[in-house]
A and B are shown apart, each in its own frame.
Chain A
């Protein structure tokens, strides 16, 4: 069966311990999470968890059904990977040298990223975009010496006027 990347958005009670209940389900059922983000939502009583994983169709149904059984999980939807807005944030710090700094600055312009810290030793860059853009930017930055980096994982919303509570097809 073909394995696809899927994005799942989950509304959960904004309480301590809920995140571990959600991730424990993945551990218990043997599914590997590719990325996970969690944060507050428009309503203070809920948090939104966005999880991406690579899975077969069967696994997708199983993950969604198992998530829906959790008491603190209020809503689970699978976002269409093509037809949703998704973004990821990258912070990357590369070594600043006299020979390379012009190249680095040029790359940040071409990728439309932003320099947020600049010292004699290092340049720190903020990049936002979909995962492919972030991947491409990191790949390019490998030319220089990457001191440290971190990426947030995907956050995603449906296109158009709907929200998580609207009717969705599984």
Chain B
């Protein structure tokens, strides 16, 4: 059937199973929006306040479901506003298709109004990008983009479509969706080698990350740990894949991870790393990372093997296949000493904190105890993010949505909107006054679409994480981290048409949260916390997990 390029794009999106797109119209996508207008019954378009909000929403949609998120923006500034969001998705391997318009082919290269080389700009932050020269290529490019976004290690793909291609006419025929090629299985030889290393180990530790979420292997990891008598920890991207109360699970490890999890990682003699990339936030100084441990690294991306940390056995394969086969092949082990040692570490952590009032932790606990298991917990970036990662009790998969790799402040509200729309469930956004200030315009979107998102602002009137560094490493010289803004978040919520609550302590927060959680659309709780609350444990730059700062008293700085 003869169709215009814009129509072909919309039809191909429908063919690929897209039900929701996020975006913001403009001159060079007006043809696409015209055709979306005809297909409102098939594709829901969510109009955000800003393109960055749209791309974070598409990302949140993808994280909450595993499906590919789709965002549309116009040329020039519309396209450049996507950049942070595309990079966020790239660093966390999130499947995303970004569609931008561009000026006509005949106008390209002349610095035309709102012309930008977005394929050039996004080259290092996409898996691949396409500039569509001819309408004859358009449908296949879109299909390829969706295939690439989901294949192997997922990631963002951008399609730039000049206006004349959107207008031009070509034949379109619907095609069945091509499934990405499966990731190869591992060899028997690799399993044999792994079994041999397991037999030699006495202190095994399973470290998993975003790849485990992607392949949904939480149950298998627990089974494997039972077989090996191992403990389990994860990176920030791995959270929510296994329930927080799993007996062998020590929580997130890393720079601000749980004490027992990080120290056990340093003391292990065998690390089985599944779907991780040994990020510097998870390992500390990579050169000194668990030097004495034997490391098995399994990932679907060959380039990750040995990239950051040298490994003894690197296997590029489907991690689910590896874990399934290893469960069968591995002998039942017993590591009583090791388990006892880890219990002591957990006790030491408990002794350091238990009983002490700490509002950030108490707040996260209240949230944990008062939400449904399928509620998505979304965060921005900073101290609140680390507290949420440390203390939240995850019960269901894919309920944790955070910008791990890029650490994008302002990610949260857009992502919360996207995840709520994708799953038709409520999300709780934990944010800080700093992060929230970067994206609060999307409150308008949340109100317009009546998105059930409960926003908890950890308001310390500061950029807390940087301030913490200034306290510990810069003699308390708080350069530009004090936010003396006088913003009234309750009134702000009301101005946008949302509900606003205020809380100053545990009791008032619990009351406010219970009310806010019941509000149909968006609601904000402005929770005042102490300006100098710290995220602990804390790893000194260049340090290792053997010298984590566990308690406030351990910080030797001028202010103490």
Which chain A residues have a beta carbon within 8 Å of chain B's beta carbons? 17, 20-21, 24, 27-28, 58, 61-62, 65-66, 68-72
Distance (whole angstroms) from the CB of A31 to the closest CB of chain B: 13
Distance (whole angstroms) from the CB of B316 to the closest CB of chain A: 9
Q: A17-B119, A71-B148 are in contact. Are A61 and B127 (CB under 8 A)?
A: no
- The reply on B123 being an interface residue by CB < 8 A is yes
A24 to B121, CA, bound (A): 11
Residue on A with the closest CB to B130? A71
Annotate B290-309 by CB proximity to A: 1 below 8 A, 0 otherwise.
00000000000111011100
Distance (whole angstroms) from the CB of B476 to the closest CB of chain A: 35
Residue on A with the closest CB to B303? A65
3 interchain residue pairs of minimum CB distance: A65-B303, A71-B128, A28-B124
Q: A17-B119, A71-B148 are in contact. Are A62 and B128 (CB under 8 A)?
A: no
B123 touches A68 (CB 8 A): no
Residues of A within 8 A of B302 (CB): 65, 68
Which chain B residues have a beta carbon within 8 Å of chain A's beta carbons? 119-120, 123-124, 127-128, 131, 148, 301-303, 305-307, 310
Residues of A within 8 A of B301 (CB): 69
A20 touches B123 (CB 8 A): yes
Distance (whole angstroms) from the CB of A15 to the closest CB of chain B: 10
Residues of B within 8 A of A17 (CB): 119, 131
A62 to B314, CA, bound (A): 13
Residue on B with the closest CB to A61? B306
A139 to B169, CA, bound (A): 61
16 contacts between A and B (CB under 8 A): A17-B119, A17-B131, A27-B124, A28-B124, A58-B310, A61-B306, A62-B303, A62-B306, A62-B307, A65-B302, A65-B303, A66-B303, A68-B303, A69-B127, A69-B301, A70-B128
Distance (whole angstroms) from the CB of B154 to the closest CB of chain A: 13
A66 to B119, CA, bound (A): 19
A68 to B305, CA, bound (A): 14
A24 touches B124 (CB 8 A): yes
Residue on B with the closest CB to A68? B302
Q: Which of B301, B302, B310 has the most CB of A within 10 A?
A: B302
Residues of A within 8 A of B119 (CB): 17
Residue on A with the closest CB to B155? A69
A27 to B123, CA, bound (A): 11
Residues of A within 8 A of B307 (CB): 62
Distance (whole angstroms) from the CB of B518 to the closest CB of chain A: 47
Residue on A with the closest CB to B153? A69
Residue on B with the closest CB to A71? B128
B123 touches A24 (CB 8 A): yes
Residues of A within 8 A of B123 (CB): 20-21, 24
Distance (whole angstroms) from the CB of B84 to the closest CB of chain A: 17
Residues of B within 8 A of A62 (CB): 303, 306-307
A110 to B130, CA, bound (A): 52
Residues of B within 8 A of A27 (CB): 124
Residues of B within 8 A of A72 (CB): 128
Distance (whole angstroms) from the CB of A2 to the closest CB of chain B: 16
Residues of B within 8 A of A24 (CB): 123-124
A20 to B120, CA, bound (A): 9
Q: Which of A21, A58, A65 has the most CB of B within 10 A?
A: A65
Residue in A28, A58, A66, A71 whose beta carbon sits within 8 Å of that of B127 in the complex: A71
A68 to B307, CA, bound (A): 15
Residues of A within 8 A of B310 (CB): 58
Residue on A with the closest CB to B124? A28
Residue on B with the closest CB to A57? B306
A42 to B377, CA, bound (A): 55
Residues of B within 8 A of A65 (CB): 302-303, 305
Residues of A within 8 A of B127 (CB): 69, 71
A58 touches B306 (CB 8 A): yes
A18 to B473, CA, bound (A): 45
Knowing that A58-B306, A69-B303, A72-B128 touch, tell me 16 more A-B residue pairs with CB under 8 angstroms: A17-B119, A17-B131, A20-B123, A21-B123, A24-B123, A28-B124, A58-B310, A62-B303, A62-B307, A65-B303, A65-B305, A66-B303, A68-B302, A68-B303, A69-B127, A71-B128
Distance (whole angstroms) from the CB of A142 to the closest CB of chain B: 40
Residues of B within 8 A of A70 (CB): 128
Distance (whole angstroms) from the CB of B98 to the closest CB of chain A: 16
A24 to B122, CA, bound (A): 11
Distance (whole angstroms) from the CB of B145 to the closest CB of chain A: 10
A24 to B306, CA, bound (A): 21
Residues of B within 8 A of A28 (CB): 124
A20 to B117, CA, bound (A): 13
Distance (whole angstroms) from the CB of A74 to the closest CB of chain B: 14
A27 to B120, CA, bound (A): 13
Distance (whole angstroms) from the CB of A152 to the closest CB of chain B: 26
A69 to B93, CA, bound (A): 14
A156 to B305, CA, bound (A): 29
Residues of A within 8 A of B120 (CB): 20
Residues of B within 8 A of A21 (CB): 123
A82 to B119, CA, bound (A): 39
Residues of B within 8 A of A71 (CB): 127-128, 148
Residues of B within 8 A of A61 (CB): 306
A27 to B303, CA, bound (A): 16
Residues of B within 8 A of A69 (CB): 127, 301, 303
Residue on B with the closest CB to A69? B303
A66 to B301, CA, bound (A): 9
Residue on A with the closest CB to B314? A61
Residue on A with the closest CB to B310? A58
Residue on A with the closest CB to B302? A65
A58 to B308, CA, bound (A): 10
A72 to B120, CA, bound (A): 15
Residues of A within 8 A of B303 (CB): 62, 65-66, 68-69
A149 to B26, CA, bound (A): 51
Residues of B within 8 A of A66 (CB): 303
